[in-house]
Amino acid sequence: MIRLGSAATIGLMALSRIAQLVAVILVIATFNFVLVRAAPGDPAQVMAGQSGASDPKLLEDLRKEYGLDKPYAVQLASYLGRVVRLDLGYSYRQRRAVVDLILERLPATLLLTVTAFCLALLIGTTLGALAGLAAGSVLDTVFTVLSLVLYATPVFWLGLMLVLVFSVTLGWLPPFGYETINVKLSPLEHVLDIAKHMIMPVTSLAAIYLAIYARLMRSSIIEVAQQDFIKTARAKGLSGPSIVVGHMLRNALVPVVTVAGMQAGALVGGAVVIETVFAWPGLGRLTFDALLQRDYPVLLGIFLILSIVVIVLNLLTDLIYRLIDPRMTTGAA
Amino acid sequence: MSDAVRAKAPVLSVEGLSIALPEGGDRPFAVENVSFEVKPNEVVCLVGESGSGKSMIAHAVLSLLPKSVDIAAGAVIVAGQDPAKLDRQALRRLRGGEAAMIFQEPLSSLNPLKRVGRQIEEMILTHQKPMPSAIEVHERVQQLLTQVGLPNPKLLEKSYPFELSGGQRQRVMIAMAMANRPALLIADEPTTALDVTTQRQILRLIDDLRRDRGMGVLLITHDFGVVADVADRVVVLRHGKVVEQGTVEEVLRSPKADYTRELIDAVPKARLDEIRRTAVHPTPLLEVIGLEKTFRVKRGLLQPPREVVAADGVSLTLYEGETLAVVGESGSGKSTLGRMIMRLTEPDGGAIRFNGQDLRQLRGEALRQARKQLQIVFQDPFASLDPRQKVGDAIARGPMAFGTSRTEAMEQARKLLVRVGLNAVAADRYPHEFSGGQRQRICIARALALKPRVLIADEAVSALDVSVQAQVLALLAELRQEMKLAMIFITHDLRIAAEIADRVIVLQKGRIVEEGATADVFTAPQAAYTRDLLDAIPGRDFFDQPGFASVTGALPTARMSS
């Protein structure tokens, strides 16, 4: 069969996926809009209530000012129109552009989630592979029990327990926040300071995913070990380590990559809880506050950005998947 | 065999080998007190049905046995060494060095994510000391790929296993096995998953390489046709014990053990004097007219979808009470044809007339009623029964769907089970409790429960051992008489077609290349393709000789001169 340069194929695939992506984003934006409006609560009422009056005239004015008096369809159309122009609107509460609010918080969230994701994937697959290779041994049993415990531990509870032990009792780690404020630090000290603040939130966030990847990798390794081509490798006289590195790992990673890609989005969602527990100045906190204040533009903006992050992550997964498994590029099974 | 060869020390000797199975199995030993030798430049065939322990022995040679089984007694000596007693390093030198192995399924035996060239390189790099340069290795890979008859080795070494055909994959496996010029090649059912024509090519390749290099070959097979074609000596195994061993002439011409005789008799033989010429009933029951089907396989974005033509104007007529064999290699469209007649796959064009109606025009209830009269039995008896459904239910479900009461349907199911040679109590058991042959009998009972007029058997006996295969074929022949069934028998095995069919259709790439009465097609094939297929039948030269052991069990004493 004639194969075009696989780079060209992958490039074209990426293009068509981006076109799909735009369509998906618009559908998601519509869905978000409907979902937020369908939730109980009225932003005008919240704002009017906070300013100390429940004067119908004030409510009326507020609604008019923010376009909340127009029919839903009109509101939706104008919202989608703004989304297309990359205008996420203006926050009623914070009196700032939503884009600025989100961009200000996004790096902290990405730092937290990306670190947690990479660590979970790296440590999880390594432990899983070790357990799978030594299936049935004491090591395997210990790993399996540990990952089961981690898997069953609620994220917020783990966060609170870490704070209790390492901050309150031992005093080793700062209990909350992103950095120590009101101190002069050299750039290196600053980085270390942030890293120190990250340890507990990252650990709490990564724990459950680490457990998932470890269990998945363990079963994947066990399955691959039984494949015929591993027998071929043994019959070729390869050493144990060369069989693991040369033939087992890549094959075993295929299902892990699939699941990791799907869960990367959920990880961003999990950050909301962790950021609240650790007062981490990221999107999670922003979401939480916006939710309480019925701050529609901020909520919609965050949902949209998170949706885009999830879609981009899925796209990346697809590309990585194709790099790992050549059978995917030509669509052959 | 010359005396010079006889004098040489064996490359493999198995001495009183017993392999213990874990406790609680159906027998204590997988292999019991087995002894035989393989000398240089000799092909020894280890023959037996599934469960005979033949693969266990092959695995023991390279110390590749699963952890749950142990060598209980005896020894295996490969090139002067006992693999069970070697340290890790020495064992690794033996594996792939002095002795190499190839397996039944070349697709699953190659790493799917590694280019085949790399997989062969690995074999060279592991064994050659001092480590050869990258250029030397590359040249060697090219040379090996050329030696095993692969076209365009430059392009091929960059391919992934899924991009190659079954025959090409097995050639890659052989190239890999040959990389370090082993003294012994162990081939575990190397052609079972391949088409007849490919099988012949691969067997010839192994034989040529054997002769070139004076290598000993241990070939494991269940097929006496293969044995007749390539073996110098034969070891027959049953339930882990050697039933008989000797030269191919001794064993095939004058088998001493009853079991060997049964196995040889069970080989479906394209014996021309026995091909029936049944007078064909003049009423056409099923007419297929100009059936078309093209599958489009999506590929990359820029590439047009790959088109696979499964049916290109296929027309056939099936008369009442007749058995029509549809033969062809994999990808010829024979299974698709069966599925289209059942309307399990929608044809692109053409017509299927059954009982005066065009099946393609039928919808809903009318189609359901028509389907009742057309039933199918699939190749894999393991996959075609619901593992969580009792056998009785599986059989009764069909009639119940057409209004028979449950009690009556179950009663019928029990009778059918008895009719296909099982016990009535089988109705209350689950499929996993039965052997492959028994399951296929259940599938036949299930198909017959609806009292069909046409039975389509899609490779229905291909997954079975020869002796079981013969029994199931006999059962089908009886049922055909009894129930006045018309049968479409889809098979890749021409020997089976010759044994069971009144007429034969030969398919190649979705086209009928030949059609006629079985005897005519086998004695005077018109198409070159049919001749190729016939030539490729394993053991044809041997079994076709007049006076050879016939199905009735008469044992000729004539020896083949060699």
The listed CATH number (1.10.287.3510, 3.30.70.360, 3.30.70.960, 3.40.50.300) that belongs to domain B3-242: 3.40.50.300
Measure the CA–CA gap between B51 and B95, rounded to whole angstroms: 25
Give B383 to chain A, closest Cα distance, Å: 20
Q: Which two tokens stand for residue B529?
A: 């393709």
Q: Is A271 helix (H, G, I), strand (E, B) or coil?
A: helix
The answer to whether the Cβ–Cβ distance between A16 and B306 falls below 8 Å is no
The residue behind tokens 């960059």 is B158
pLDDT at B558: 30
Per-residue pLDDT tens over the stretch B318-343: 988 889 999 988 888 888 899 999 88
Per-residue pLDDT tens over the stretch B215-271: 999 999 988 888 988 999 999 999 889 999 999 989 988 899 999 988 888 777 654
Per-residue pLDDT tens over the stretch A104-140: 888 888 899 889 999 999 999 999 999 999 988 898 9
Measure the CA–CA gap between B64 and B515, rounded to whole angstroms: 48
Q: Closest-CA residue in chain B for A15?
A: B301
Phi, psi of B80 (to 5 degrees): 80, 0
Residues 6+ apart with CB under 8 A from B405: none
- Cβ-Cβ contacts under 8 Å, B301 against chain A: 9, 12-13, 16
Q: Do residues A236 and B176 lie in contact, with contact meaning Cβ atoms separated by under 8 Å?
A: yes
Exposure class string for B320-342: b at 16+ Cβ within 10 A, else e: bbbbbbbbbbebbbbbbbbbbbb
pLDDT at B275: 47
Over residues B377-387, the mean pLDDT reads 87
> What's the whole-number average pLDDT of chain B?
85
pLDDT band at residue A47 using 50, 70 and 90 as cut-offs:
low
Q: Is residue A154 part of a domain?
A: yes
- Predicted confidence (pLDDT) at residue B548 exceeds the cutoff of 60: no
Query: Taking every pair of C-alpha atoms in chain A, what is the biggest distance, in angstroms?
Result: 86
Q: Is residue A35 part of a domain?
A: no
Q: How many CA atoms lie within 13 A of B180 on its CB side?
A: 28
- Cβ-Cβ contacts under 8 Å, B123 against chain A: 236-237
- Count of structural domains, chain A: 1
Q: Is residue A242 part of a domain?
A: no
pLDDT at B545: 57
Any idea which of A32-41, B426-435, B505-514, B540-549 has the lowest mean pLDDT? B540-549
pLDDT band at residue B298 using 50, 70 and 90 as cut-offs:
low
Mutate to test the interface with B, among A2, A227, A229, A250 (most CBs of B within 10 A): A229
pLDDT at B304: 65
- Across the strands, what pairs with B324? B488, B503
pLDDT at B553: 32
pLDDT at A278: 87
Domain that residue A254 falls in: 107-219+249-292+313-328
Nearest-by-Cβ selection for A232 from B93, B110, B301: B110
Nearest-by-Cβ selection for A236 from B91, B95, B163: B95
Judge whether A251 is closer than 8 Å to chain B, CB to CB.
Answer: yes
Judge whether A229 is closer than 8 Å to chain B, CB to CB.
Answer: yes
Q: Is B235 helix (H, G, I), strand (E, B) or coil?
A: strand
Q: Which two tokens stand for residue A312?
A: 């981009």
Q: Which two tokens stand for residue A295?
A: 């701050």
Judge whether B103 is closer than 8 Å to chain A, CB to CB.
Answer: yes
**Residue B258 CB burial class (10 angstroms; 0-12, 13-18, ≥19):** exposed
pLDDT at B107: 87
Q: Is B505 helix (H, G, I), strand (E, B) or coil?
A: strand
Range list of β-strands (E), B248-390: 284-297, 306-319, 323-327, 349-354, 357-358, 374-377
pLDDT at A6: 59
Over residues A189-198, the mean pLDDT reads 87
pLDDT at A48: 67
pLDDT band at residue B550 using 50, 70 and 90 as cut-offs:
very low
Q: Is residue A254 part of a domain?
A: yes
The residue behind tokens 């005239």 is A57
Per-residue pLDDT tens over the stretch A272-319: 888 888 888 888 888 888 888 878 888 888 888 888 888 888 878 888
Q: Is residue A317 part of a domain?
A: yes
- Predicted confidence (pLDDT) at residue A155 exceeds the cutoff of 50: yes
Q: Could you tell me where in chain B the CATH 3.40.50.300 domains are found?
A: 3-242
Nearest-by-Cβ selection for A237 from B95, B112, B297: B95
The answer to whether the Cβ–Cβ distance between A236 and B111 falls below 8 Å is no
pLDDT at B33: 93
Q: Is residue A28 part of a domain?
A: no
Judge whether B303 is closer than 8 Å to chain A, CB to CB.
Answer: yes
Q: Is residue A140 part of a domain?
A: yes
The residue behind tokens 């989630």 is A113
Measure the CA–CA gap between B486 and B273, rounded to whole angstroms: 24
pLDDT at A31: 87
Q: CATH no. for residue A184?
A: 1.10.3720
pLDDT at A98: 87
Measure the CA–CA gap between B265 and B270, rounded to whole angstroms: 12
pLDDT at A326: 80
Q: Is residue A271 part of a domain?
A: yes
Q: Do residues B206 and B182 lie in contact, with contact meaning Cβ atoms separated by under 8 Å?
A: no
pLDDT at B375: 92
- For residue B136, what are the CA distances in angstroms to B10, B131, B132? 32, 10, 6
pLDDT band at residue B395 using 50, 70 and 90 as cut-offs:
very high
Over residues B99-106, the mean pLDDT reads 90
